[in-house]
Structure 1
Amino acid sequence: MSERAHTHRRRAGKRRMAAALTAALSLTGAALATNMMLQPAGAAPADTTAAAVAEWPTPTGSEAVSETIEVSGSYDGGLKEFHGEGDLGGGGQEEGQDALFELADGATLRNVVLGSPAADGVHCSGSCTLENVWWTDVGEDAASFKGKSSGSVYRVNGGGAKGADDKVFQFNGAGKLTISGFQVEDFGKLVRSCGNCSTMYKRDIVVKDVDITAPGKSLVGINSNYGDTATLSSIRIHGDSSKKIEPCVRYEGNDSGDEPEEIGSGPDGEFCLYSESDITYD
């Protein structure tokens, strides 16, 4: 804000000092205001710790799901919490569980909280978008992507997950999966390209602008022998000063059902595509 013009005269030196002081105060105020606008309500302006990023939504209500909800087009849950009951009441790691939500090719699921038990979370039978979807306690998997076309596109925009004993996202199908603006804590793997499905595909995975809070084992697992790629950028890892969480792990996948062999990890310029500067720790 500029100063009002004054009718009395000042010496030039004092005018320059006053102008400089006013400019400095204005810049400081603007910086503080901008910083406050970028922070969640109630957070300290300079706080970038795990506590500051873990802004989990408060559900607007609760609904028990005993039969898979099938979605075509778009489904907005209004941030209601959904949890399984009856046949969908499992929350363990048993394979083959049904999902709470089954998305048709091209469907969008937004503003949903999946509580506990969550069975097998969300299934996408083709391209899909998960927008502002949260898992408070991951069951078998948070979401599985199963499209069979190499042109399938899966997007996870915003949201978060915690309490995954193994995988958060299971990538069984073909195509490209992009995860952005997401946060995860207390997990095994953020996303795994299936290592031993009966039908194997080349899969591309992009993970960007995400917050990772330990404990966790790895961000991405890919099968380099099938040409999978993982591109990582703007990854913020909290509470892992010893850097135990592996950003990218390469496997030798197979279609025989055998356990895939881990063959390497870290950036290699061909399959695990990132540099050390793409990942920060605090």
Structure 2
Amino acid sequence: MIMTASVSPASAATWPTANGSQAVTSTISVSGTKDYGMKRLYGSGDLGTGSQDEDQGPLLELAPGAVLKNVVIGSPAADGVHCLGSCTLQNVWWEDVGEDAATFLGSSSSNVYTVSGGGAKEADDKVFQFNGAGTLNVSDFAVRNFGTFVRSCGNCRTQYKRTINLDTIEATYKGGRIVGINTNYGDSATLRKITVVGDSGRKIVPCQKYTGNNTGKEPSKNGSDADGTYCRYAASDITYK
């Protein structure tokens, strides 16, 4: 279960109380370590439309190597958080996801993006958008009311091989997919200790495989079974409650 005051797993119904609020009218650049002490940030002005526009800016843009911790992303959330390279998001909570909660960028295969603790809800489409290269590790995280929890970009102009590792995730219905990957680019997703809550019909797809492209077209699906190569998990890795 994910606790509001720490990075441990907790109840999907338990979300932190913000310690004050701050309007963000233009993207905040972050380098080094930034600890907001559980302050709520929300979009205002150009960042306050609350739209699903894919061209809108993020509330926070993290330089390579930056660490963002202990913050609540309120509503409007614009395009959330952008990581320009390796980054760490620790105990970050999204109350109402905008276009995406976080987008991971950067062209180096050595990039490592780490999400530890926190939660996100009310994502009409994606929670985490993986556009760059490298490895994304997400652990001790709660998500509810979402389209896709983690998506390897299906139609970016520049495509990469992407590795996704999910460990100790609580996903509360309703939702569409835990993870989506592109098999034709060599992506893989490893799922461990996934708890799915309230999905009696087992409608949430643990791992959706796609044939991605770099032309901007909608990618086609090509299966969703665990295969040990692209979708890596066993039945015992997913618990339904």
Structure-1-length-normalised TM-score: 0.82
SS at match of 2:174: coil
Task: Mark the runs of 5 or more structure 2 residues left unpaired by the alignment.
Answer: none
C-alpha displacement of 1:93: 1.4
- Kept after mapping to 2: 8 A contact 1:222/1:250: yes
2:144 counterpart of 1:144: no
2:136 counterpart of 1:158: no
Structure with the higher strand share, 1 or 2: 2
Of the candidates 195, 206, 211, which is equivalent to residue 154 of structure 2?
195
- Kept after mapping to 1: 8 A contact 2:40/2:74: yes
Amino acid aligned to 2:108:
S
**Matched residues, number:** 237
Instruction: Indicate the residue corresponding to 1:4 in structure 2.
Output: none
C-alpha displacement of 1:59: 0.3
Deviations 1:177-223 (A, max 9, x none): 00000000000000100000000000000011011100000000000
C-alpha displacement of 1:241: 1.3
1-structure distance, mates of 2:130, 2:3: 32
C-alpha displacement of 1:94: 1.1
SS at match of 1:87: helix
2:37 counterpart of 1:78: yes
Structure-2-length-normalised TM-score: 0.95
C-alpha displacement of 1:147: 1.4
Of the candidates 15, 18, 22, which is equivalent to residue 59 of structure 1?
18
Structure possessing the higher radius of gyration over alpha carbons = 1
- Kept after mapping to 2: 8 A contact 1:233/1:279: yes
2-structure distance, mates of 1:134, 1:40: 11
Amino acid aligned to 1:133:
V
Task: Mark the runs of 5 or more structure 1 residues left unpaired by the alignment.
Answer: 1-37, 42-47
Of the candidates 28, 44, 48, which is equivalent to residue 69 of structure 1?
28
2-structure distance, mates of 1:184, 1:276: 20
- Kept after mapping to 2: 8 A contact 1:168/1:189: yes
2-structure distance, mates of 1:247, 1:92: 28
Structure with the higher helix share, 1 or 2: 1
1-structure distance, mates of 2:83, 2:211: 25
Instruction: Indicate the residue corresponding to 1:278 in structure 2.
Output: 237
Identity %, equivalent residues = 60
Query: Following superposition, which runs of at least 4 residues in structure 1 exceed 6 angstroms of deviation?
Result: 38-41
- Kept after mapping to 2: 8 A contact 1:54/1:183: no
1-structure distance, mates of 2:186, 2:88: 24
Instruction: Indicate the residue corresponding to 2:128 in structure 1.
Output: 169
1-structure distance, mates of 2:161, 2:191: 18
Structure having greater relative contact order (Cα 8 Å, sep ≥ 6): 2
1-structure distance, mates of 2:141, 2:106: 22
Amino acid aligned to 1:68:
T
2:81 counterpart of 1:122: yes
